Amino acid sequence: MNGNFNDHYAGTFSNRAFSVNTSTSMVKRLDGQCYEGIGITPEVEALYNEAEFKKGNDTQLEAALDLIDSLTR
């Protein structure tokens, strides 16, 4: 793979069994600071619940939807 990895790169690689398409991008704040390796602290925390997820319940998604619903009332 060749390209400029600083801003944006998309590419494909394959072998006889499969083909993989990749894309990446770097997101920066208006002041130029990059969140890579730092992350963004959430305002609302929704913990992952593996047992519920295995049952088909996405508790993090449900918490996000509940928050959105509460803000639109």
- Report yes or no on 62 lying in a domain: yes
| CA–CA separation, 46 and 63 (whole Å) | 6
Domain of residue 51, residue span: 8-71
Identify the band that residue 55 occupies on the pLDDT scale cut at 50, 70 and 90.
very high
pLDDT score at 53: 94
- Report yes or no on 61 lying in a domain: yes
- Report yes or no on 60 lying in a domain: yes
pLDDT score at 16: 81
Q: Does the pLDDT of residue 31 top 60, yes or no?
A: yes
- Report yes or no on 3 lying in a domain: no
- Report yes or no on 22 lying in a domain: yes
In the chain, count of helices (H) and strands (E)? 2, 2
pLDDT score at 23: 66
| CA–CA separation, 21 and 28 (whole Å) | 24
Specify the number of domains making up the chain: 1
CB 64 within 8 A of CB 48: no
| CA–CA separation, 63 and 52 (whole Å) | 13
- Report yes or no on 1 lying in a domain: no
Identify the band that residue 50 occupies on the pLDDT scale cut at 50, 70 and 90.
very high
pLDDT tens digits, 4-14 = 444 445 677 77
- Report yes or no on 2 lying in a domain: no
CB 22 within 8 A of CB 39: no
